[in-house]
Structure 1
Amino acid sequence: MPPSFLEMAVQHFDRALRTVAGVAQEGPANRAAPDADAPQGPGPSSGETQHIGRLMRVNYAGEVAAQGLYWGQGLTARTPEVAEKMDTAASEEQDHLNWCIRRMDATGVGPSVLNPLWLAGSVTLGAAAGLAGDRWSLGFVAETERQVMNHLQGHLGRLPDTDPATRAVVEQMYLDERSHAEWAEGAGGERLPFPIRAAMTVSSKFLTNGSYWT
């Protein structure tokens, strides 16, 4: 018997609370963390440790926002197929949330206090993208993932060589985001107009700066 609407609402609410609080959760993939077997090396200096932790807090906040986008897009998808794919993508990226939590814990840095804001805003944006139609919604996914890829590349350039464990996590996240972007484009996603892409870039700057410091 499928779950009732109330049961699904409670499950999503519980999932949202755990996500913004930085609590690890199981996902369908539940892959081993890329840093599990990575050489730890001598470790970063104390100053570098805080910097690395804040970078991973930014990455975690980005994954919180991605969850919100997928949830919002799934709620307003025009077809059950696209709604299911959005939910699957959100579940698959649970691994990213868990991996970020591991690296944040390793550096003693907690989640951003602004996570509820990122989640709520992203659900709203995702719902709006879904209402525009599935092709535009898929295009929104593709553009989001492309911008996340650029963001992760920037972080790889800022991570010290003394922390191969964190680099392993960010590198795997990059590969996964590329896979999701290619999926969305292959499924028929439309390229977004430049003003929308530019606005997405600006909004990501607020998330990056806000999450790094708070």
Structure 2
Amino acid sequence: MLSDLLVANLDNALRTLTGQHVGSNRPYPGRAVPDTLLRPWERQEAGRMMRVNHAGEVMAQALYTGQAAGTSDPELRAQLEHARSEEEDHLRWCQTRLQELNSRPSLLSPLWYGAGWSMGFLAARQGRAANLGLVVAVENQVEEHLNGHLDTLPADDDRSRAVVAQMRDDEVGHAETAESLGAGKLPMPVRMAMAAFSRVLTQGALWI
């Protein structure tokens, strides 16, 4: 029913924006890694980078929720909701690391959520190939971004790297699954617009 769908989408938005994460309850990847990052300026830099990652995961929550809401294919909806659950793990992990670094989420999180949900819902209304194609395009961008963070995080920040590496591996899996289910390639203008918005999110979340 439409009312149930609206309630579920509103519930996910509120949980995402207030830090009430559930996910699949996978353990925190950094739990067994000593936090040896001691220099205050390096902790501040790592905090900014993890804030960007957290913002990306807020958008991922919204994206997958919008995609699931916009499709009439129950099999595809189940797959999208499974991926969304893993992204919720990422959100929880980023939140944990931000707290450890005495940092905070982006103040623009509602903007990232609204943009992600709209993008996901619109793609879903274009059909299965476009819906899955959005997954591939987004996850490929995120993989590249996370690989960059693995290279540029402070040298002693193995704890953040453990989190980022697990997130990266999950994103690769999401893209591969979408490819196997029949993802189409998004038009070049759409991919260019996505890349531009990714730069806006990265710079906005880095400082705000």
List gaps (5 residues or longer) in structure 1: none
Distance 2:5 2:74 in 1: 16
Runs (4 or more) in structure 1 with deviation over 2 Å come to 4-15
1:2-151 alignment runs, 5 A limit? 6=3, 9-21=6-18, 23-27=19-23, 29-41=24-36, 43-151=37-145
Q: Which secondary structure state, in structure 2, belongs to the residue aligned with residue 36 of structure 1? A: coil
- CA RMSD, 1 decimal: 1.5
Amino acid in the other structure paired with 1:137: N
Distance 1:142 1:91 in 2: 17
Distance 1:24 1:128 in 2: 26
Q: Deviations over 1:142-195 (max 9, x none)?
A: 110000000001111111121111110001100000000000001100122222
Give the TM-score of the pair, scaled to structure 2: 0.94
List gaps (5 residues or longer) in structure 2: none
Deviation (angstroms), 1:196: 1.4
Question: Do 1:78 and 1:133's aligned partners in 2 also have CA atoms closer than 8 Å?
Answer: no
Give the TM-score of the pair, scaled to structure 1: 0.92
Distance 1:16 1:129 in 2: 19
Question: Do 2:5 and 2:69's aligned partners in 1 also have CA atoms closer than 8 Å?
Answer: no
Amino acid in the other structure paired with 2:206: Y
Aligned length: 208
1:203 matched residue in structure 2: 197
* Aligned pair partner of 1:152 in 121, 146, 156: 146
Amino acid in the other structure paired with 1:213: W
Distance 2:137 2:79 in 1: 17
Distance 1:116 1:210 in 2: 13
Question: Do 1:74 and 1:130's aligned partners in 2 also have CA atoms closer than 8 Å?
Answer: yes
Amino acid in the other structure paired with 2:74: P
Q: Which secondary structure state, in structure 1, belongs to the residue aligned with residue 27 of structure 2? A: coil
